Amino acid sequence: MEERGKNWFQKHKMGVFVGVSAVLMLIGLSYAWLQLTLRGTKELTILTAGSLELELDDTMTGGISFMEAVPVSDEDGLSQDGYTFTLENKGNVTSDYTIYLDDLDLAEGQNRMSDSFIKYQLTKDGSEVDLQLLNAIGASPNRVLESGTIAPKAKYIYTLKMWIDENATNEVMETMFKGQLRIEAMQNVPKTLYTEIAKNAVLDNQASEFVTASTGIDFGSISSDTNGKGVYTFASTKDEKYPVHYYRGAVTDNNVKFANFCWKIVRTTETGGVKLIYNGSPDAEGKCTNTTGEATQIGTSAFNETYNSIESVGYMVNNTSDSTIKGVIDTWYRDNMTGYISKLDDAVFCNDRGSRVDGNYAYFGSYDRAYTTHNPSLSCVNDADKFTVNVSNGNGLLTYPVALLTADEIVLSGGKYGTVNSTYYLYTNEYWWTLSPSSFGNSSAHGLRVNSSGKLFNYGVNSSYGIRPALVLASGTKITSGDGTSNHPFVVA
């Protein structure tokens, strides 16, 4: 400091702030210097995480000094050189960042200058970002100068100018402001659909916001505000690499727009995929507003035209010939979806044909779980019932990776055998087929379907009902926009 500066500060008994990191200081006096001092190391690494590396270089200028320590006009304040610093992304991933101006502690006896008297201007690469009073951008530690996104190898040059506003009163006398730049950054990684679902999931075997029972969801009852509404983790999978999460009840944020169609998210899979059920086409504004009616289906069909043998409950009869409904689904997929096969998982679709005999009837496992035990399962016991495209993970009999939901998935979602439920997200006021067989007796095969009232029930496989195809988005599918609501459905890459 010049001799004149030293003598002046000694005369007026003011301390001089000396720092070792980037600092800002304003001193307000009636007849003195107004000084903005900035000091710091040559390079300060703000964040390094994998290939994300941002650096702050705050030594491009040596600080700012004013000859008059009195309030000044914006024109005079802007005429100073300012404090210039550079933010550079030396990594190879895009980063979100926020620049904060934090308060620093004052020495004993020093008085804090009010933010309402401090004016500032911030420019980025020569263009103005902001010009206003400091109190307009929050208080420390939430005083945000700027936030944005910086691409790999990009560099931004900022200049900060600060002065005492011309409208300041004598309250600024003998007061001081000390501040320090802080930059927080986070790697800008696109959200995946699986992680977005998982972040809101709670265990289904305990009480939570919409589950009052201490033992969790009662699958012997329909979904409700006390028996499940939201996203839940299937408790038996909680320790797996990809716990299974499912939507239940009157949810409104599980809409997806994919392949020019609207879908509802039903659950995630054991491989990190996301199972969807068809829900129609977007409207003229790109919204997924379908809730009820035939628009939620691709059409209607019998499950099988033949019904007088136990094999008629099969998605493929004897695993050799296509069921009637499989033929319709495959044709629809071939005409609309073959360009998207790389986006899908070859997931297992379980046509569970394991049965027990009671008198003259054979009852299948899916019927018993829905009607008797109320214990939905996501496993598929018999390899012959695991419908897949490839033999590596199933029977390899599917032409395309698409089929139907199971009755177990309907129960998880909030449905119940024989009980009306018009409030859960799978209710459409239409009759539509599941993949699950129900029973065989008196020379008649029955499958499980969802009624127009929302309840599960069994009907002859030769009856014609709605078709709502189901498929599984591949693990790692990213969200490009949307929040899952009908007006802003998730749009996936």
Q: What per-residue confidence (pLDDT) applies to 53?
A: 59
What is the separation, in whole angstroms, between the first and last Cα of the chain? 59
Tokens 């730049």 label which residue? 181
Q: What per-residue confidence (pLDDT) applies to 25?
A: 54
The structure's pTM equals: 0.67
Q: What per-residue confidence (pLDDT) applies to 488?
A: 95
Q: What per-residue confidence (pLDDT) applies to 54?
A: 64
Q: What per-residue confidence (pLDDT) applies to 58?
A: 63
- Alpha-carbon distance values, 390 to 252, 277, 333, 380, 397 (Å): 34, 22, 17, 16, 7
Distance between CA 281 and CA 296 in Å, rounded? 8
Q: What per-residue confidence (pLDDT) applies to 490?
A: 96
Write down how long the chain is.
493
Q: Name beta bridge partners: 165.
A: 72
Q: What per-residue confidence (pLDDT) applies to 128?
A: 93
Residue 474's contacts (CB-CB under 8 Å, 6 or more residues apart) are: 273, 342, 343, 344, 345
State both tokens at 348: 């297992």
Q: What per-residue confidence (pLDDT) applies to 365?
A: 97
Q: What per-residue confidence (pLDDT) applies to 7?
A: 33
Mean pLDDT, contiguous 10-residue spans, the chain (493 residues): 33 27 45 33 35 59 46 90 85 82 85 90 94 91 89 90 89 82 75 93 97 98 98 96 97 97 98 98 94 97 97 97 98 96 97 95 97 96 97 97 98 98 98 98 97 98 98 95 94 88
Distance between CA 417 and CA 375 in Å, rounded? 12
Secondary structure, 3-state, the chain = CCHHHHHHHHHCCCCCCCCCCCCEEEEECCCCCEEECCCCCCCEEEEEECCEEEEEECCCCCCEEECCCCCECHHHHHCCCCEEEEEEECCCCCEEEEEEEEECCCCCCCEECCHHHEEEEEEECCEEEEEEEHHHHCCCCCCEEEEEEECCCCEEEEEEEEEEECCCCHHHCCEEEEEEEEEEEEECCCCEHHHHHHCCCEECCCCECCECCCCCCCCCCCCCCCECCEEEECHHHCCCCCCCEEEECCCCCCEEEECCEEEEEEEECCCCCEEEEECCCCCCCCCCCCCCCHHHCCCEEECCCCCCCHHHHCCEECCCEECHHHHHHHHHHHHHCHHHHHHECCCCEECCCCEEEECCEEEEHHHHHHHHHCCCCCCCCCHHHEECCCCCCCCCCCCCCCECCCHHHHHHHCCEECECCCCCCCCCCCCEEEEEEEEEECCEEEEEEECCCCCEEEEECCCEEECCCEEEECCCCEEEECCCCCCCCEEEC
Q: What per-residue confidence (pLDDT) applies to 184?
A: 83
Q: What per-residue confidence (pLDDT) applies to 177?
A: 81
Q: What per-residue confidence (pLDDT) applies to 66?
A: 37
Q: What per-residue confidence (pLDDT) applies to 70?
A: 73
